[in-house]
A and B are shown apart, each in its own frame.
Chain A
Amino acid sequence: MAKMIHSLFLINCSGDIFLEKHWKSVVSQSVCDYFFEAQEKAADVENVPPVISTPHHYLISIYRDKLFFVSVIQTEVPPLFVIEFLHRVADTFQDYFGECSEAAIKDNVVIVYELLEEMLDNGFPLATESNILKELIKPPTILRSVVNSITGSSNVGDTLPTGQLSNIPWRRAGVKYTNNEAYFDVVEEIDAIIDKSGSTVFAEIQGVIDACIKLSGMPDLSLSFMNPRLLDDVSFHPCIRFKRWESERVLSFIPPDGNFRLISYRVSSQNLVAIPVYVKHSISFKENSSCGRFDITIGPKQNMGKTIEGITVTVHMPKVVLNMNLTPTQGSYTFDPVTKVLMWDVGKITPQKLPSLKGLVNLQSGAPKPEENPSLNIQFKIQQLAISGKKCLAWV
């Protein structure tokens, strides 16, 4: 993994290289031409292949928040290593500047440079934990820049971060709060593919437990579940003691300070996932006519008395669709005639009156009846419900 990342280029959507950082010798920007070539070939920005080989280098890139992070490497390296690292860089920018955008990065270019230098040394990642980075380089705040300009002090810490070398590198020492609090968010996403007739082709639950911990000192926490056997496929934050989980199925850990993701887990379709909504749909195109009918209705299935909210429906219509003339019973819809994407922002479902969207579809005249079936993508939220049935038990 020699010299893992040689150089890093940040490129915006219009193809401007707006930041470059070299960890070894300077690599000419022209190396990015290979990337632009691949970008041109890919119809969509999202389709640019993440690993591109050039005569002398490899380019490994990620696409985040409308920015490309393109890294240049020269020798055999684990690409996942690089990709993970690039995502960590983007996460850090997000964490420091509130957003990971070209404007934010340009506004804080010196901090960005300091951060990149602190995160990687000769291809070896140094400090990637936000807790440690923040001790080394203070995030920008309006207050601090005012204070700094008055006192002349800097935003670079001059003592060694305490967590850097302890066995708990993720936590800084000497944390003090007057109000000690800890919050946990359990977020579960169902990812399901349902066929025309309504039967589930594939469903799984992706869950995460995000925590916000504001506790003084070195708190040692444990968290146990009512039905831990659901959690077979889990990825843990390094702070969790794996031995204890293996033997007792208890999450025991000294948490980092602040926000972090404690665990993420997957519950696969074998444990039958009940999808809380259903869609009735009828989309038809008449033979030899330039219009078709479109009619979808959404309704709740068993939802344990919770309301389903924040529903949006996205439909990718066939290419020959010119325009759509629809009436929603609630919410609003838009149709983008260029990308052929129909978006319907539904809002909440009230069981008394099920939301529906009906109307006419205009096709290109003379075009044959579309073969493909439009796919519907539905997103919704339910507060205070864990689909997997996971329950959290106690705090020690």
Chain B
Amino acid sequence: LNLKPPSACQTTAKATKSQAAQTRRRQRTAFSNVRSVIPKHRQDLLKWNGWGYQDSQFAVTNQRTLTFTGQRYQLSGSEMPALVEWMEKALGASIDQRSPAKFTRPENIPPPVQVNADFMSAIRQLGLSHSDAGPDRLFRGHGHTLEEMFTLREGMFPRLPDLVVWPTSHREVVELVNLANRCGVVLIPFGGGTSVTGALLCPPGERRMIVSLDTSQMNRILWLDERNLIGRFEAGIIGQDLEARLAELGYCIGHEPDSLEFSSLGGWVATRASGMKKNVYGNIEDLLVHVTFVTPTGVIEKSCAAPRVSVGPDVHHLIMGSEGSLGVVTEVTLKIRPLPQTRRYGSLVFADFASGVRCLRELALRRCAPASVRLMDNEQFQFGHALRPAASGWTTAFVDAVKRFYVTRVRGFKPDELAVATLLYEGTPEEVAQQEALVNSIAANHGGISGGEENGRRGYMLTFVIAYLRDLGLDYYCVGESFETSVPWDRVLDLCRNVKLRIKEECRSRGVTQPVLSTCRVTQTYDAGACVYFYFAYNYRGLPDPVHLYEEVENAARDEILANGGSLSHHHGVGKIRQRWYSRSVSEPAVAAVRAVKSRLDPNNVFACANLFEPAGGPDGQTEQKAKL
């Protein structure tokens, strides 16, 4: 591999010096043109009104059995006989009561409402790839909250971007941003489209032309620096492409959010993302060494890629979490790591959730948590159980029975109380063995027993499949959503219990008569606390406005989280759906400071996505829309 100083790649595509051109050419041979799994026209591969790939979904094979279609996942093709029963028991859903989507293909896509002629002629002149086709605009006009999915199935968004533009380099982004600033056009950056905060929705009151800046075509690996173990990447690269390409070269980033298949590097930076293996690799703020950020008033970047600096407030922390409201990330330097020699799964079974949390707390205390550790409560354990494929032979069934006998009879765990932790170890074989022994001994202090490697592997595999489940639920009158928080250790148990119960009570008091699924898991451990992930779903058969009801319940749940000492968000961000709590969460002067930065960097409110807060009346006073979308 070529080791190149960072300066070499900061030359633009139109480099005139031959040496630079040669450099670029060599670079390209090594890294450029990462062929993404996701096509430029996303509709060719992805569902337009659901999660993920078109070929992958839960489907009913016969009356009582569900299967997962396609060949992409480990679960694909296997039949899950227990799932229907679980849906009936946990949600009161019935396989005979279907609620198919009103629209089976995108109809009524609103045409572009604003076309800025100056802008259009300028981008044609610049040769920027763009499209105003309905499906292109539709795919970039939303994220994946329940409300957005429901809107796709039952209606249409009031406003979509008027145009999609695909810049292919930092330089083109600079030109595009300047152009938008000059022409009075709104830019909404788009990476992988997996936002769950309403961040991609067009502010309905916006009267200017809205252009979606799709970064997907700037997905090159610009260089790797093996001496320093860093690499420079264009912001549009999506997680699975990034890891796959690096793996070929013997490296990894190790940043694995659950949306890894679809989310982009730029999106991770803009939302302060977190990955499940942060214990080894760190969250995005730990991984990020350098970032280039294009704003209407210029490009923000540090002058060096030194590992840590004390040069005033860290501007990286303005960029991370800006959620598209200040500018757009174009290039990022991240730490890279050699691929681990060993990857090993594990699982632990505890008598109850509380013992599991105490175990995780001790792992954090002794700072020996493996790459990933997640503790599922009993409801999630039961759900995971329901996703088990039919036993593939009498030996498996026999082994299962023996295990069950040991856990429930010999150890006395109650099947409706026990909790399960899944573990992922990475490192050299010795490191992993050592770590596993230590973790198991700590677990034993809390009454935990090993549940075997296979259960752990399944747990992680389910991470990617679980997102598909919501689409299945929507077909059977069930709406569901997940949300997360982070909280100090001493409040974890109270928070989990109180929020789960609050969800159930809020549903009940709003007329939900069927059982409500309200479940949580602890997904990250920190020195001072943990990240908790909640799932909740309910059956809305017979209720008039399930999405509104859902919103009210989620808001109540968030109030409960905050009352219990939890944060507004651990990694999803604020977006539009959590704005009402933003000021309370960070204090008024802090919001004023961020607003001041916004008005200085983006005086014309080009990045008018209205995330974090409503802009205080743009220059043309166009943004008086209500927070409610």
A pairs with B: no
Residues of B within 8 A of A (CB): none
